[in-house]
Structure formats: C-alpha cells, structure tokens
Structure 1
Amino acid sequence: MITHTSTPSRLRILLVDDEPLVLDGLRRQFRQLRDRWEVSTAIGGELAIAELRRGAFDVVVSDMRMPGIDGIAVLAAAAEAQPGAVRFILSGYSEREDLLRSLGPAHRWLVKPCDLASLQLLVGRSLELRREISMPEVRQVMERVVPATSLPRAIRDLASDLSAAQPDAGRSLAAITQDPEIGPGMADLAGSLGLMPVGTDPAGGLLALPPGTVRAIALAWHLHRTCNLRNDTAIWRHGLLVSRLARRITAGLPGPEVEMATAAGLLHDCGRLVLTSLDDTNRIALALERRCSPNLEHAERSIFGCDHGLVGAAMLASWGLPDSVVEAVAWHHRPAPGRLDAAMAVHLADALSGAGEAACIDLGLLSVVGLHHRLQEWEAMAQQERQAIEQRHGTSS
C-alpha cells in the first residue's frame, strides 16, 4: 500500500519501510510540517520502486533491512530514475558489506532512531549541496578537467568504510597493497607528506596511519592519476595540517564523524589543484584578479563563476563519497550552522591553520552552537600541529 499527503509547491519526500507502524510514526511526525513537506510512504521495496516510476521526489528515505528489495536497492533505483533526489539510508546496522553497496546510491547513512529535527537539518543541507555542485559553472570546470571515471574497486571499497560504525582499513588495504600501481603510488604520496619514510612497504606504512588519512591519500592519488594534475606539495601539506586538526577537534564524536573529518581535511583544497590545472590563460587571469580581490575564493568566482570548494566537492560527489565529506569540502570557508560535525571541524581547522587565505572564525556561529569556550584550546592544538609538521619537513613558518 502507498499513501500520499499532497499539496503543490512543497518538497516531496518518499518514506520507505517494511513495517507499517514505523511509517505511521514517521507520517505523524511530518504532519506538523505539512506546509513544507508533501509526504508519501511505501511499505516495502517493491512498492517504493513502483512509486518512484510514477512520480518525482526531492528526497527518498529508506530503511535498510527489508525482505526482498532492500533499502540500497531502492536508492539505487531512485538514483537511476531520479538522479537529482537526495537519498538517505535509515538503519540500526552498519555492516561493511552494506556500506560497500551503499557507496553511490546513498548520500547519507542515518542511524536509528533519527529525530525529525535532525532529519530536516540534514535534508536541507543535502538539497543545498546538490544545488550548488550542480551549478552550470561547476559543471563547465568539471567537463574541462575531470574525466567521467569511476573509482577503482579497491579504492571504492576503502572509501566506503568512512561511514562504518567502527572504521577499519585493514581489509580494504590488503587489496590496495596487492595492486602494483595503487599501493606504491599511495606510499609515495604519503612519503612526500612525511607520513612514512620513502621506500617503506605500503602495507605496513599505510596501516599505521589513521583510517581517514589512508582513504584521503587513496582519493588524492586517484585524482592525480585521472586528471593529470600538478603535484602541489604545499597544498597537500596544508591539507595534512587541517586534517590533523579536524581529527583532534572531533575527538569524542562517533568514529565515522572523526574519520570523515580526517579525510575531508586532507582533501578540502583538492579543487585548487583542479583549477590550477586549467590552461595558462585562466591561470594568468586568476593571478591578476587575485591582486585586487579580498581573498582567493572571490577571485575564483570572478574568473570561473565558482570557487575551489565547490569544484572539489563536485568531483568527490561524482565518485559517490558521503555527503558529510562532500559538504565539508564544499563549505570549508562557510560552514552550515548546526552542530560540531565533520564540516564544522574542517572549517575551524582551516581557519586555525594560519593559511592566511582562510576566513576568520565566526565567533557568533561558535556561540550559537555552544563551542566558543573551546577556541583557546583549539588555538593551542593548531600551534602544536603546525610545529610538528614544520619539524617533520625541516621548515619554518
């Protein structure tokens, strides 16, 4: 049975579960928001797919464990039929095999129980993220630089573990280190960042790193390989500082949030590599514009119509990375208000890194989310991490 609550010009959401009582509870929660949401419910995967064929939806939220057609299959069908829809998996489980299958079909993996306020916040952020990374200006840059390729299986499996309740890179790294190209390539990049001695066996050296760092290195290696980008060590070293800071800022949050902050921190400026790989005319124009612009992002928007955060985010989204990572990259200079999460942590870490280009920390925003009292602690962390990286590379600020 499929039920509807219908009014024009509202966001359309399809809720899918095999338990009628669960759907009744969700429908009752959304009743207070009927001026903003048009709610449809489907009992089970088969009816959900039928509904997807009949109408368009802005958001699809499906339970994971259902008999027959499960939640990932429902979201895969939604991705094919309605690629612009935001797709969430709702589950009390996070088995690795399910996470591997969900990479791509699911934008977010929500753990039961998920309250309505949190769901609304995350849906709003995902919708805004889709709108921004789909802008024509972003697509034009992507078409010029980033080939339409998917992640290699070994890297896809490694990246999928970012959402796991207990992230473990061991199983995926076994496949990575057996690959004659990927393993040595990742080890070389890690070595250039001072994360492991050059020439170290990839298996042992990479396993000693935080899981989020390993996954980000794999994605960074794939980015260089597929897009033939210049290797800008300064950008990656800055990313390493932001990654280490973001990891410390999120300490105490659930494991997946910490690992996503770690990965997003290293990757947050990857869009700069994409923009600097464009032709000489664009690079010269950007350099000239930068002289009279208040910051790099303003100059980029003047030349390209978008900034490096959105370009990097669009690339990661095209590879099926979770929205928590994608939005942290997209908005690292302008985080969405809400709570301390991967996106907020990467913004704070970037601003605290002393990069010069970073936006100042919004003290009002910190007060709203109740974090202003931790600023002095984070500033001390930033100083420690800066000194550690400078000593590792034998440089000074």
Structure 2
Amino acid sequence: MKILLVDDEERAVRGVSRWIAGEIGQWEVVTAASGADALRLLESGDFNVIVSEMRMTGMDGAELLSLVEQRHPDVFRVVLSGQADRDTVLSAVQPMHQFLSKPCDLNVLIDVIKQAETFQATIASAAVLDAIGQANGLPSVPGIVSEINEALASENWNTQSIANIIKKDPLLSARILQVANSAIFALPHPVLDVVQGVSLVGVEVIQGLAMSQAIQLRNVKDSALLSTNALFDHSFQVAVLAKTFSRRVLQGEDTCASVFSGALLHDIGKLILLDAFPDQYSRLLSVSAAEHRPLWELELDQLGATHQGVGAYLLALWGVPAAIVEIVASHHSFEVCSRRNLPCQVVYAANWLCNGGDEELIERELESADHTEQADLFAKRLLSWKSDALEHAEMASPTRNNR
C-alpha cells in the first residue's frame, strides 16, 4: 500500500507518517504540506490511499478530495481532521469515503486502511476499481428529490416519513449510513437503521446528497435506466421479505435493522457496474437471464469482479457497519452463507425466493459443498422458509380471504 498524508502542519503529519511506517513496515508513506503538493505527487506515483486534513491554507481538504475523485478515482479518500465545525466537514461528504476525527487512535486509521486493502485485493480490474471510486456520484431513483421536497413541505413530515422515501433508494440509503457511521457524529455504536441515520444526518444533508445523485441521471441511457429501476424494485422486495423472515427467526432490533439494510443494499454492486459499463453489463444481465447462468460467473469472466464483491468493497470504503458489508459480500454464496450467521442466511433466502426459489439450484449447491452438516442444515432452512413464505402468501391472497 502506498499512502499519501496531507496536512499543512508538517510536524503533525511527519509524526503520523513515522508511526504508520513503524507499525506496518511494508506500507510506503509519503507526506505533502498542501493540496497542490498532494496533486503533484498523485500525478507522479501510484497511490492507494490519501488521508487529508480538512482545514488547510489555500486548497482545503474538500476541494482536494473532489479533484482526487475526478483524477484518481481508485484512490481511497479519508478525511482526518481536528476541526469541530460539523457543517464544514459535511461539505466534504460527496468526495470523501471516510471521516476520522482528531485526536484519532492511529490504530483505527490503520484498521480502516487494512480493510480497504483486503477488499481491494479481490478486484482484479483497474477499470472496476475506478468505477467503485466514482460511485459517490451514482444516480439516484428518479423523482426521489421531488418526493423528499414534497414531504418536507408538508406540515406533518417526520423522520420516519423521510426515511420511508429514502428506503426506496439503495444508493441514498447507503450514503446516509456512510455519513451517520462516520466520526462526524462520534457515536459509540454502529448505526444500522436508515431511520436513525436520517435523524442524525439532518434534512439539509439528505437533500444535498439526493440532489448530487439526481444530477447524474442526465448521463444515464434510457436502457440502463430501465435496468436500474428494476434493480431498485428488486432490492426493496428482497429487503421487505428479509425483514419478514428476520422478525420470525432473529432477536434484537439491531439485528433486524442490519438485515433490512443489508438486503436493501445487496445489489448495490450491480448499480456500480451498470453505471460504469452500461452496454456490456446490460448484455451480461440478458445472457444470465436467457441462458440461466449465474451472473457472478459472467461478471468474473468478463469484468474481473463480481457485483457482490464490488458492493462489499464500496460499503467497506464508506465505513458502513461490518454486519451489513458481510451480508452484501455473501448474498450469492450458498457455501459461505452456510457457515455465516443467520442474518446472512436470511438475506440469501430472501434473494433466492425473489429470484424464483429454484430448488434445483440448492441441490447443486449442496453437491458443491460436499453435503457438510452446515450446508445440509442451511438447505433445510431455505426449503422451510420457502414453504412458510408460500403459506403466508396464500393466506394473504384475495382468493383465500374471500372463501
């Protein structure tokens, strides 16, 4: 890993540099005393991470990271700042990946960089890494800004009503969780629920994030937009079904919240790939549907990355809680989910059912997993949950109710 530290207080930045180099000998750490110096260094070297102070003379951290996002999108962008002005820090939300507050335990900074390094190693394509780095400006659900503005214009709006609108949009939901879980708010516990995130972040920031994403819609082709809308609808359906399952088999509000959020965000990697490679990815979606081939296999073969890996990497960069990242990373792997906790299994089940609930697929997965005890148990759970879902659907059907 090659890391660029930027701060106009040279003594402070050199101290951080020496400490990181002493802890992780294989990392190369370079320092810059200004935004202009940082940009020159970025042009001349392959950096993986930039860690910048927010308040600097001349070019501030927000402006610097905006330029880094445009010119070097694959670089992991972190704000490490001691200033207490939350409004100013929030101005950097769009270009930054994570915010850490000074004084900062430098072990936390190292852990953040290590996590990015781990997920980055799973992405073989430089073009896909660039796409992930530019995902802060992905398009939002059409009309979401209007819905939010209309709700805020009403005298009866509240946090829940705004959150209900945002839950229709996986990307905006992820951005809210990103900001709420940053050190800007310095909470002692992770924020797993969009409702809590909305109450923390505030409506002005929400409107700004929604507007910045909506502007991107002008560059999205109609064909890709149709696919995007279908993905939004599917994500919400999976989240609702996963929430229903979680209430029956899981305990604790936080666990149920992480299941809903993880399910809502499970296909966020598809949106990144569709935005970056609209024609190629649309073809992959068509081939997968027509030939009944696993999409992740086509993605790995043609793009060098899977949508679950891309989505998990993005959410890890954004500092979204690990419980949600784990759900996104494993939602297509029967074998991995059989060894994971119930939240991962619930989202796998909901996604499997929303895609048709093919029992032959489970049989093939069992064979691949060598019928381990964990795999057999997971398969039984899937079939049981499918039976329950069908029974509840029948009970709720108009025909049944009219008998």
Counterpart of 1:83, as a letter, is P
Aligned to 2:237: 237
Q: State how far apart, in whole Å, the 1-side matches of 2:44 and 2:270 are.
A: 41
Contact residue 6 and residue 13 of structure 2 kept, 8 A: no
Contact residue 312 and residue 329 of structure 1 kept, 8 A: no
Structure 1 residue 23 corresponds to structure 2 residue 14: yes
Q: In the TM superposition, what is the alpha-carbon distance from 1:241 to its structure 2 partner?
A: 3.9
Aligned to 2:96: 106
Aligned to 2:371: none
Contact residue 90 and residue 109 of structure 1 kept, 8 A: yes
Aligned to 1:143: none
Q: Deviations over 1:168-203 (max 9, x none)?
A: xxxx98536479xxx9xxxxxxxxxxxxxxxxx995
Aligned to 1:118: 111
Structure 1 residue 322 corresponds to structure 2 residue 318: yes
Instruction: Mark the runs of 5 or more structure 2 residues left unpaired by the alignment.
Output: 175-209, 334-339, 367-377, 399-403
Out of 63, 76, 85, the position equivalent to 1:73 is 63
- Could you say what secondary structure the match of 1:69 adopts? coil
Aligned to 2:32: 42
Out of 321, 341, 350, the position equivalent to 2:347 is 350
Contact residue 259 and residue 346 of structure 2 kept, 8 A: no
Aligned to 2:329: 331
| TM-score (ref. length: structure 2) | 0.51
Contact residue 6 and residue 35 of structure 2 kept, 8 A: yes
Contact residue 296 and residue 307 of structure 2 kept, 8 A: yes
1:355-370 superposed matches below 5 A: 355=352
Q: In the TM superposition, what is the alpha-carbon distance from 1:354 to its structure 2 partner?
A: 7.6
Structure 1 residue 84 corresponds to structure 2 residue 71: no
Q: In the TM superposition, what is the alpha-carbon distance from 1:227 to its structure 2 partner?
A: 0.7
Aligned to 1:368: none
Contact residue 55 and residue 61 of structure 2 kept, 8 A: yes
Indicate how the Cα distance of structure 1 residues 118 and 346 shifts in structure 2: closer, same or farther if over 3 A, else same: farther
Indicate how the Cα distance of structure 1 residues 107 and 153 shifts in structure 2: closer, same or farther if over 3 A, else same: farther
Q: State how far apart, in whole Å, the 1-side matches of 2:56 and 2:76 are.
A: 20
Structure 1 residue 265 corresponds to structure 2 residue 263: yes
Q: In the TM superposition, what is the alpha-carbon distance from 1:135 to its structure 2 partner?
A: 4.1
More helix by proportion, 1 or 2? 2
Q: State how far apart, in whole Å, the 1-side matches of 2:126 and 2:328 are.
A: 8
Q: In the TM superposition, what is the alpha-carbon distance from 1:60 to its structure 2 partner?
A: 0.7
Out of 121, 127, 143, the position equivalent to 2:120 is 127
Q: In the TM superposition, what is the alpha-carbon distance from 1:272 to its structure 2 partner?
A: 6.3
Indicate how the Cα distance of structure 1 residues 155 and 55 shifts in structure 2: closer, same or farther if over 3 A, else same: farther
Q: State how far apart, in whole Å, the 2-side matches of 1:70 and 1:260 are.
A: 35
- Could you say what secondary structure the match of 1:61 adopts? strand
Contact residue 235 and residue 264 of structure 2 kept, 8 A: no
Structure 1 residue 175 corresponds to structure 2 residue 149: yes
- Could you say what secondary structure the match of 1:105 adopts? coil
Contact residue 155 and residue 219 of structure 1 kept, 8 A: no
Q: In the TM superposition, what is the alpha-carbon distance from 1:124 to its structure 2 partner?
A: 0.7
1:367-382 superposed matches below 5 A: none
Contact residue 17 and residue 23 of structure 1 kept, 8 A: no
Aligned to 1:33: 24
Indicate how the Cα distance of structure 1 residues 50 and 299 shifts in structure 2: closer, same or farther if over 3 A, else same: closer
Q: Deviations over 1:75-127 (max 9, x none)?
A: 22322343322211123568664465334421222343341541342331453
Q: In the TM superposition, what is the alpha-carbon distance from 1:58 to its structure 2 partner?
A: 2.0
Q: Deviations over 1:142-171 (max 9, x none)?
A: xxxx9x975599969xxxxxxxxxxxxxxx
Indicate how the Cα distance of structure 1 residues 288 and 73 shifts in structure 2: closer, same or farther if over 3 A, else same: closer
Contact residue 309 and residue 329 of structure 1 kept, 8 A: no
Counterpart of 1:127, as a letter, is Q
Aligned to 1:207: 161
Name which of structure 1's ranges 95-104 and 62-71 shifts more when overlaid on structure 2: 95-104
Q: In the TM superposition, what is the alpha-carbon distance from 1:24 to its structure 2 partner?
A: 0.8
Instruction: Mark the runs of 5 or more structure 1 residues left unpaired by the alignment.
Output: 1-10, 140-145, 157-171, 184-200, 336-342, 361-375
Q: In the TM superposition, what is the alpha-carbon distance from 1:283 to its structure 2 partner?
A: 6.0
Name which of structure 1's ranges 204-213 and 216-225 shifts more when overlaid on structure 2: 216-225
Indicate how the Cα distance of structure 1 residues 88 and 25 shifts in structure 2: closer, same or farther if over 3 A, else same: closer
Seq. identity, %: 22
- Could you say what secondary structure the match of 1:350 adopts? helix
Q: State how far apart, in whole Å, the 2-side matches of 1:228 and 1:331 are.
A: 25
